[in-house]
A and B are shown apart, each in its own frame.
Chain A
Amino acid sequence: MTDRFQGEAISWEVAGGVIELALHRGPCNEIGSISLKELEQFTESLDDLSRKCHALIIHSAMPSGFCAGADLRELYQRSQEMQKGQAVVGVREFLERIHRALNTIDAAPLTTIAAIHGVTFGGGFELALVCDLIIADKMARFAFPELRLGLIPGFGGIPRLKRDLGNAVVRDLLLTGRSLNATRAHAVGLVSQLVAEGEALRAARATAVQLGKFDRRTAITAKKFIKPIPHHELKLEIDLFCQLFAEPAVEAGLRKFVESTDLQPYLP
Chain B
Amino acid sequence: MPNEDKTLDEIMDLAARHFKVSRDKLRPDEDFFKTLNIDSLQALDLLTRLENHFHVELPDYELQGVTDFRTLAGRIHARL
Tell me the complex Cα distance, A247–B38, Å: 33
Interface of A: prevailing SS = loop
Establish whether residues B48 and A68, one from each chain, have CB atoms under 8 Å apart when the complex forms: no
Is A54 at the interface (CB under 8 A from chain B)? Answer: no
Provide the B31-49 mask, 1 if CB < 8 A to any CB of A, else 0: 0010000111101110111
Contact status of A263 and B51, CB under 8 A, knowing A119-B44, A178-B59, A268-B61: no
Nearest Cβ on chain B to A48's Cβ, whole angstroms? 37
Quick check: B60 and A179 within 8 Å, CB to CB? Answer: yes
A139 touches B45 (CB 8 A): yes
Q: Is A163 an interface residue (CB 8 A)?
A: no
B57 at interface by CB-CB < 8 Å: yes
How long is the Cα–Cα vector from A78 to B51 in the complex, in angstroms? 38
* Contact call B59/A65, Cβ cutoff below 8 A: no
A268-B64 in contact (CB<8A) = yes
Measured CA separation A176–B52 after assembly (Å): 21
The answer to whether A181 and B57 touch across the interface, beta carbons within 8 angstroms, is: yes
Contact indicator B57/A264 (Cβ below 8 Å): no
Chain A contact residue count (CB 8 A cutoff): 27
| Cα-based distance from A81 to B39 in the complex (angstroms) | 29
For B50-80 the 0/1 string (1 means CB < 8 A from A) is: 0110000101110110000000000000000
- Would you give the 0/1 interface string for A248-266, flagging 1 where the beta carbon is closer than 8 Å to chain B? 0000000000000011111
B contact residues around A139 at 8 Å (CB): 45, 48-49, 52
Q: Which of chain A's residues have a CB closer than 8 A to the CB of B43?
A: 263-264, 266-267
| Contact A267 B64, beta carbon cutoff 8 Å | yes
Say whether, besides A64-B41, A183-B51, A263 and B60 are in contact (CB < 8 Å). Answer: no
B48 near A141: Cβ-Cβ < 8 Å: yes
Contacts of A266 in B (CB 8 A): 39-41, 43-44
A267→B51 contact, CB < 8 A: no
Decide if B52 touches A183 in the complex (CB within 8 Å): yes
Bound CA span A141–B58, Å: 12
Kindly state the separation between the CA atoms of A65 and B40 in the bound complex, as whole angstroms: 13
Q: Using Cβ atoms and an 8 Å threshold, which residues of chain A touch B38?
A: 263
Bound CA–CA A267/B43 (angstroms) = 8
Most buried by A among B40, B41, B43, B57: B41
Please indicate the chain B residues that have their CB under 8 angstroms from the CB of A68 in the complex: 41
Q: Are B60 and A268 in contact (CB under 8 A)?
A: yes
Query: Which residues of B have CB within 8 Å of A181?
Result: 48, 51-52, 57
Identify the closest chain B residue to A64 (Cβ).
B41
Closest 9 CB pairs of A and B: A266-B40, A264-B40, A268-B61, A178-B59, A267-B40, A263-B39, A263-B33, A181-B51, A64-B41
Chain B contacts to A: CB under 8 angstroms? 33, 38-41, 43-45, 47-49, 51-52, 57, 59-61, 63-64
| Chain A interfacial positions (CB closer than 8 Å to B) | 27-28, 64-65, 68, 118-119, 138-141, 143, 176-179, 181-184, 262-268
- Complex A-B: 9 CB contacts under 8 Å: A64-B45, A65-B41, A139-B45, A143-B60, A178-B59, A181-B48, A184-B57, A263-B38, A264-B40
Task: List 6 other contacts, CB 8 Å, given A139-B48, A140-B48.
Answer: A28-B41, A64-B41, A141-B44, A264-B43, A266-B43, A267-B64
